Structure formats: structure tokens, C-alpha cells
């Protein structure tokens, strides 16, 4: 029996913080929805949070007892309908550095904070590499550890693990399914030993102002 490739922590955030976070994300609505996975932010560890996601990232770092080599967190909003999953299987990386011709660097730790329940939408994590020849870049060998979306549950796995989202029937996404009206809402938060290239701090942008904390 293999060692689990993903673990999870339930009720990872205090109730008040989770409630505020969920309400703020719901207020974001469909803002920048087409670019939700490209709209990423950097939170330097130890700095005063300027938004509720930074607050959550700081709390999670303490909860997981991350060492001093972790200098900060990169986060973004994931909003999808499980009837039309548009994220292929992948390994998190310093995206802009790779696209600029730099070397491949993975975060030290990848995490996914679930905000709600949904139909299907299991998080699938594996040590197998993505395969360009398969639908959704699914690995050749299907050997997944799975996490069910539950509000305030945090999935935690090594930053070089392949992962993806299963569809409304908890199958590898392929054809579009009948529309699911509800959304699968999560916040991926990656913890890094070095800052990813060209990822701005939240306060340096004008995106998602409803996440801001009162001054």
C-alpha cells in the first residue's frame, strides 16, 4: 500500500475567517472569470495581509507549521462548473519563468482550500506524469488519491505532484456534460521557497477589490 500522495485538514480556518472568505469570494462573482487561472497573487510571509485570502494563507502556514524556508504564498481563485472542467492535469510550477525559457521550478507545497460542495469535482492527485496524448492530459496510469470538496477542507500535497479535477460524474473530463448550475469554488494556495517570476502582490493590482480588508 502506497503512502498517501495527498492529505487533508478539515475546518482548517476559524469559522469567522472562513465565513468572511466565502462571502468575499461570492462577491467577486464572475469578475475576470475567463482569466481566473492567470490572475495570481503573491503574499510575502510575515507581511500584514491586505485581503482575506492573504489572511487565510498566513493562518494555514501557521496551522501546517511550515518552516522558515517558506518565504511566501502564491494564490488564485478557481471557479468552474464541473459539467465543463477546463483545467487539465498538471504540475504546479513557476509558470512565467518556464515560459521565459527559465528552468522548471515547482512550489514546495501545493494546497487547495475548498469553499463549497458541488456535484462531482473530486481533486485527483498522483505521482504519475501528465500525458500529452490523453484527454485532459490525464496520466497513462490511472492511480489517483482523491479528495472530496467539503467547505473549509484543505488538501495538501507535494508541489511536484500531478493533479486535476474530475467532472460532475467524477470521471476524467472529456465531453461537455449537461449544465451544472452550481459552481465549484476553491482557492489554490502554493507555498514557495522562492518568489515566482512576475507574480504581483494583491495591492499592486486592481483585481478582486471585494477581497480587500478594511484599512
pLDDT at 161: 97
**What grid cell was written down for 40?**
495570481
Mean pLDDT of the chain: 95
Helices (H), ranges, 30-178: 52-63, 95-99
- Provide the pLDDT confidence category of residue 1 given band limits of 50, 70 and 90: low
Name residue, grid cell 524556508: 69
| Separation CA 191–CA 13 (nearest Å) | 17
176-201 pLDDT, tens digit each:
787 878 899 999 999 999 999 999 99
The domains found in the chain, sorted by start residue, are: 7-202 (2.60.120.620)
Q: What percent of the chain has pLDDT over 90?
A: 93
At 9-32, the pLDDT tens digits run: 999 999 999 999 999 999 999 999
pLDDT at 156: 98
Distance CA(183)–CA(132), nearest Å, equals 27
The whole-angstrom separation of Cα 195 and Cα 188 is 16
Is residue 176 within 8 Å of 92, Cβ to Cβ? no
* Rg, C-alpha atoms of the chain: 16
Q: Is the pLDDT of residue 50 over 70?
A: yes
List the grid coordinates of 2: 502506497
Per-residue pLDDT reduced to its tens digit, 55-85: 999 999 999 999 999 999 999 999 999 999 9
Determine the pLDDT at residue 3: 73
Count other Cβ atoms within 10 Å, centred on residue 175: 7
Residue 45: name the closest of 18, 25, 66, 27 by CA. Answer: 66
Amino acid at each position: 500500500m502506497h503512502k498517501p500522495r495527498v492529505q487533508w485538514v478539515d475546518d482548517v480556518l476559524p469559522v469567522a475567517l472562513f465565513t468572511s472568505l466565502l462571502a468575499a469570494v461570492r462577491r467577486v462573482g464572475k469578475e475576470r472569470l475567463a482569466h481566473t487561472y492567470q490572475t495570481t497573487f503573491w503574499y510575502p510571509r510575515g507581511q500584514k495581509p491586505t485581503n482575506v485570502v492573504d489572511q487565510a494563507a498566513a493562518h494555514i502556514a501557521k496551522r501546517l507549521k511550515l518552516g522558515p524556508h517558506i518565504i511566501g504564498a502564491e494564490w488564485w481563485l478557481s471557479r468552474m462548473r464541473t459539467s465543463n472542467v477546463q483545467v487539465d492535469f498538471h504540475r504546479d510550477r513557476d509558470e512565467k519563468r518556464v515560459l521565459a525559457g527559465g528552468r522548471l521550478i515547482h512550489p514546495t507545497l501545493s494546497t487547495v482550500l475548498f469553499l463549497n460542495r458541488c456535484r462531482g469535482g473530486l481533486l485527483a492527485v498522483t505521482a504519475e506524469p501528465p500525458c500529452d496524448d490523453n484527454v485532459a492530459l490525464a496520466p497513462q496510469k490511472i492511480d489517483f488519491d482523491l479528495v472530496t470538496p467539503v467547505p473549509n477542507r484543505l488538501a495538501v500535497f507535494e508541489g511536484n505532484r500531478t493533479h486535476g479535477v474530475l467532472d460532475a460524474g467524477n470521471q476524467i473530463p472529456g465531453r461537455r456534460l449537461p449544465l451544472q448550475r452550481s459552481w465549484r469554488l476553491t482557492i489554490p494556495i502554493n507555498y514557495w521557497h522562492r518568489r515566482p517570476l512576475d507574480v504581483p502582490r494583491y495591492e499592486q493590482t486592481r483585481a478582486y477589490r471585494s477581497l480587500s480588508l478594511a484599512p
